[in-house]
Amino acid sequence: MKNNNAQIGKIAPDFEAIAVFDEEFGKIRLSDYRNKKYVVLFFYPLNFTFVCPTEITSFSDRFEEFIDLDTEILGVSVDSEYSHLAWLQIDREEGGLGELTYPLVSDLKKEITLSYNVLDDSGVALRGLFIIDKNGIIQYSTTNNLSVGRSVDETLRILQAVQYVTENPDEACPVDWEPGDETIYL
């Protein structure tokens, strides 16, 4: 049975897990970012697949744009930390990830994936993405078909809109809003 903890406007389910960053293993806890940074938490099905590396490397290549928005990125799959490390140690040109600018979290027990309601019946993570604000509240979530990659541009646009309405609670961002566009006063 799937857990329905991850909901817009609610505290994001906390977790502590092993992650790989800079080819080293370490513990990571989501709540460590609370009151410090926004978090883009995204789930992907499996390592050594075809669509996943296009997303993972695109988020990494655009990492500075997220840093400029005071945001950390965390990627999560049901693979082991050893599988993450092996994939990171293969160059991109050879089907690997090469260097990444953010951690890959191991959810081998599928507890995180289950708590975010993105565990597929086949036992892999769906392509879920969550934007979590500095207070640890989920402000946005989306889940894609396993065969459809996500857009980094759209993630950045939504992140900027979420940050804008958080800072301007009497305003709303209309369709296709970009920073500098007019907003709607509530």
CA distances from 104 to 128, 135, 137 (A): 15, 22, 21
Owner of token pair 């995180």? 112
Q: Strands (DSSP E) along the chain, which ranges? A: 16-21, 24-29, 38-43, 71-77, 104-106, 127-132, 138-144, 171-172, 184-185
Is 173 one of the annotated active-site residues of the chain? Answer: no
Compute the radius of gyration of the chain from its Cα atoms: 16
Query: What is the residue-wise DSSP string for 111-163?
Result: HHHHHTT-B-TTSSB-EEEEEE-TTSBEEEEEEE-TT-PPPHHHHHHHHHHHH
Q: What is the Cα–Cα distance from 153 to 158, expressed in whole angstroms? A: 9
Q: Catalytic one among 28, 30, 39, 52?
A: 52
Would you please indicate which residues are annotated as catalytic (active-site) residues? 52
